[in-house]
Amino acid sequence: MPLLEITDMTVAYGRIEAVRGVSITVEEGELVTLIGANGAGKTTTMRAVSGIRPLSRGKIVFDGKDITRMKPHLRVLEGIVQAPEGRGIFPGMTVLENLEMGAYGRTFENKAVHDETLARVFELFPRLEDRTSQVGGTMSGGEQQMLAIGRALMARPRLMLLDEPSMGLAPMVIQQIFRIVSEINAQGTTVLLVEQNARQALSRSHRAYVLETGEVVRSGGGRELLADPSIKEAYLGVA
């Protein structure tokens, strides 16, 4: 049974259907990527999985449970956590407060589990530990992205949704972020990733879906798609 199963999902903004009849599955432990151009429906798909965009058709099943109509904040309790597009750092909160926000919906078994989770985040992102009292709004883009991922980890997610983590970052930082995403996945967290930076994303994914104008046009193994000439042409900028 897949961890996440989206079946025939349509999401509309008014009369415009941003996503049409999309079906996507993510198995437990996988790193799955959605690639596609701007406006292909990637972010809309993520929003629908998190519950902040309603579906006009289709259904979403998480871990065997139909969550199609579940309230977004309850999905966090189920284990679906998103680091949103644009990172969504709370600008007036410190780094530590931002991290604590990740754990907001969660009641930890005890303080030890909380501390252990925080320690794990600091292990992945040592720079955050140095800056616990810095205000989120004053950090660089790369630091904010690290904070956004660290914050999502604070919820101890079963499925982490990452929407364009490389957006607006320098190539060095992008490398670093992708390495950490791979590591998080290797440690057992299932990841659904949305990326424009297709080469990096595909080379690190188990599987990938290609979205075009709201529909899935291709899917397959990450490296398989990376080697595909038509994908190369359309998304990797090589003829």
Partner 1 sequence: MLVHGVLAADPLIGFDLAALGRNFWALTVDGLTYGAVYALVAVGYTLVYGVLRLINFAHSEIFMLGMFGQYATLLALGFYPSGDAFDKGILLTVLYLGIAMIGGMVVAGGAAVGLERVAYRPLRKRGAPSLVFLITAIGASFVIQEFVHFVLPALTGGELGGVNAEQPIRLVEPEVQFTLFGANVTNVTLIIIFSALILALATDMFINRTKFGRGIRAVAQDPVTATLMGVSRERIIMLTFLIGGVLAGAAALLYTLRVPNGIIYSGGFILGIKAFSAAVLGGIGNLRGALLGGLLLGVMENYGQVVFGTEWRDVVAFVLLIVVLMFRPTGILGESLGRARA
Q: What residues line the site for partner 1 (CB under 8 A)?
A: 50-52, 71-73, 76-77, 81-82, 84, 88, 90-93, 97, 100-102, 104-106, 135-138, 151, 155
Continuous segment of H or E residues that includes residue 164: none
Q: Residue 74 or residue 217: which is nearer to partner 1 going by CB?
A: 74
Q: Residue 190 or residue 200: which is nearer to partner 1 going by CB?
A: 190
Q: State the burial class of residue 171 (Cβ atoms within 10 Å of its Cβ: 0-12, 13-18, 19+).
A: exposed
Q: How far is the CB of 26 from partner 1 (least distance, A)?
A: 18
Cα–Cα distances (Å) from 171 to 60, 185, 193, in that order, read: 35, 21, 18
CA 92 to CA 157: how far, in whole Å? 25
CA 135 to CA 97: how far, in whole Å? 9
Q: Residue 87 or residue 204: which is nearer to partner 1 going by CB?
A: 87
CA 90 to CA 121: how far, in whole Å? 18
Q: How far is the CB of 130 from partner 1 (least distance, A)?
A: 19
Task: Please list, in sequence order, all residues whose beta carbon lies within 8 angstroms of the beta carbon of residue 13, skipping any fewer than 6 positions away.
Answer: 44
Q: How far is the CB of 221 from partner 1 (least distance, A)?
A: 29
Q: How far is the CB of 76 from partner 1 (least distance, A)?
A: 3
Q: Residue 2 or residue 88: which is nearer to partner 1 going by CB?
A: 88
Q: How far is the CB of 178 from partner 1 (least distance, A)?
A: 22
